[in-house]
Amino acid sequence: MRALALSELLLIELAKPLELALNRRIYDLVRSAIEAGTLAPGTRLPSSRDLARDLNVSRNTVVSAIDQLLAEGYVEARVGSGTYVAIRLPEQDVVRSGRARGSPPEERARTALAPRRLSRRGLRLTELGGWKHLEVQPFTPGPADYSALQFRHWIRLLKKYVNDPNPDLLDCGDPGGYPRLRDAIARYLRVSRSVNVVAEQVLITSSTQQSVDLCARLLADAGDTVWIENPGYWGAQRALDAADLKLRAIAVDREGIAPGDDDWQSPPSMIYLTPSNQYPTGAVMSLERRRRILDFAAERNVWILEDDYDSEFRYEGRPLPSLQGMDMHQRVVYLGTFSKVMYQGVRLAYLVVPPDLVERFRVGLYDLFRPGQLTMQAALADFIEEGHFEVNLRRMRVIYGERRAILRATLERALGERVELSRSNAGMTLVIHLPVGTDDRAIAQKAARADLTVRALSNYYLTPQGTAGLVVGFAYVSTSDIAPYAQVLARIILEHLHVGPPPVCTPAGLAATF
Question: Which pLDDT score is estimated for 88?
Answer: 79
With cut-offs at 50, 70 and 90, classify the pLDDT of residue 71: confident
Using alpha carbons, select from 267, 238, 254, 243 the residue that is nearest to residue 462: 238
Backbone angles phi and psi of 374, in degrees to 5: -70, -30
Return the bridge partners of 490, or none. none
- The 10 Å Cβ neighbour count of residue 379 is 25
**128-132, 315-319, 401-405, 444-448: range with lowest mean pLDDT:** 128-132
For residue 4, pLDDT over 70 is answered with no
**What is the average pLDDT across 479-503?**
81
- The 10 Å Cβ neighbour count of residue 192 is 15
Q: Report percent pLDDT > 70 for the chain.
A: 81
Question: Which pLDDT score is estimated for 465?
Answer: 74
Question: Which pLDDT score is estimated for 261?
Answer: 94
Separation between Cα atoms, residue 278 and residue 230, nearest integer Å: 10
Asked whether 169 and 374 are in contact (CB, 8 A), the reply is yes
Asked whether 465 and 249 are in contact (CB, 8 A), the reply is no
**Exposure on the CB side of residue 192, measured as CA atoms within 13 A:** 17
- The 10 Å Cβ neighbour count of residue 130 is 12
Asked whether 321 and 178 are in contact (CB, 8 A), the reply is no
Helices 234-242 and 208-219 meet at what angle, rounded to 10? 40
Question: Which pLDDT score is estimated for 150?
Answer: 72
- The 10 Å Cβ neighbour count of residue 340 is 21
With cut-offs at 50, 70 and 90, classify the pLDDT of residue 8: low
Q: Whole-model pTM?
A: 0.73
pLDDT tens column, 326-380: 999 999 999 999 988 887 778 899 999 999 999 999 999 999 988 778 888 999 9
Separation between Cα atoms, residue 376 and residue 244, nearest integer Å: 33
Question: From its phi and psi, is residue 82 left (phi > 0), alpha (psi between -120 and 50) or beta?
Answer: left
Backbone angles phi and psi of 261, in degrees to 5: -60, -40
pLDDT higher at 124 or 73: 73
For residue 463, pLDDT over 90 is answered with no
Cα separations in angstroms, 162 against 289, 372, 387: 48, 14, 21
Question: Which pLDDT score is estimated for 513?
Answer: 33
Q: What is the mean pLDDT of the chain?
A: 82
Using alpha carbons, select from 294, 322, 321, 293 the residue that is nearest to residue 306: 322
With cut-offs at 50, 70 and 90, classify the pLDDT of residue 271: very high
CA 72, chain centre distance (Å):
25
Question: Which pLDDT score is estimated for 160?
Answer: 87
For residue 500, pLDDT over 60 is answered with no
pLDDT higher at 291 or 149: 291
Long-range contacts made by residues 323-326, C-beta under 8 angstroms, separation at least 24? 323/273, 323/275, 323/276, 323/285, 323/290, 323/293, 323/294, 324/195, 324/196, 324/197, 324/352, 325/193, 325/194, 325/195, 325/196, 326/290, 326/291, 326/294
Separation between Cα atoms, residue 389 and residue 140, nearest integer Å: 24
H or E element, residue 246: strand 246-253
Using alpha carbons, select from 426, 393, 396, 432 the residue that is nearest to residue 139: 432
Pairing of strands 225-230, 246-253: parallel
Question: Which pLDDT score is estimated for 403?
Answer: 92
Question: Which pLDDT score is estimated for 410?
Answer: 95
For residue 467, pLDDT over 70 is answered with yes
**What is the average pLDDT across 142-162?**
76
**What is the average pLDDT across 444-450?**
89
Separation between Cα atoms, residue 113 and residue 93, nearest integer Å: 13
Question: Which pLDDT score is estimated for 75?
Answer: 87
Question: Which pLDDT score is estimated for 5?
Answer: 60
Cis status, amide bond into 165, omega within 30 of 0: no
Burial 279-307 (b: 16+ CB within 10 A, else e): bbbbbbbeeebbeebbebbeeeebbbbbb
Question: Which pLDDT score is estimated for 124?
Answer: 67
With cut-offs at 50, 70 and 90, classify the pLDDT of residue 122: confident
pLDDT higher at 34 or 21: 34
For residue 18, pLDDT over 50 is answered with yes
For residue 127, pLDDT over 80 is answered with no
Burial of 326 (0-12, 13-18, 19+ CB in 10 A): middle
For residue 412, pLDDT over 90 is answered with yes
With cut-offs at 50, 70 and 90, classify the pLDDT of residue 135: very low
Helix, strand, or coil (residue 472)? strand
